[in-house]
Amino acid sequence: ANYFSSEEALARLQTRFVLLPSAESTGGPARYWRIPGSSTRVGFISPHSHNFCETCNRVRVTARGELYPCLGNNHAIHLLPLLRAHPTNDVHLRAAIVDGMGIKARGHDFSSQMAAPQVLRFMSTTGG
């Protein structure tokens, strides 16, 4: 598989459409472009070329009860045992989630993983 940057995708789109940068934000990592006079917009999430780890406010919880603070590494907090051990008390669960936020990475290794991926987890497994 070859890397196809968001800049390349944008350049291709701009051969057919006028796209203007948008100040719109949905609270996530996407950068949006809009077509003037239309409600059409396109968003790019570009972890390789525009690292957004510093401002990332996302986590994933799998159906197995694993909390992944970052899609770029394998660190996970196993919530299911806490839910089973304390079904009516969420104090332990809350503490585990807060601790999980503490291990969110300041950056990722996506660029070095392009040749040999370190995270071999499908998005359908992780969610999102």
Q: What is the pLDDT of residue 125?
A: 65
Closest CA to 59 of 45, 44, 77, 46: 77
- What is residue 46's predicted lDDT score, i.e. its pLDDT? 82
Residue 123's pLDDT band (cuts 50, 70, 90): low
What pLDDT is attached to residue 91?
A: 96
What are the C-alpha distances in Å from 74 to residues 1, 10, 66, 92, 117?
22, 31, 11, 22, 11
pLDDT digits (tens, 9 = 90+) for 65-119: 999 888 777 788 999 999 999 999 999 999 999 988 888 777 766 655 555 555 6
pTM as predicted: 0.65
**Which residue, 65, 68, 38, is CA-closest to 56?**
68
Contact 108, 51 (CB under 8 A): yes
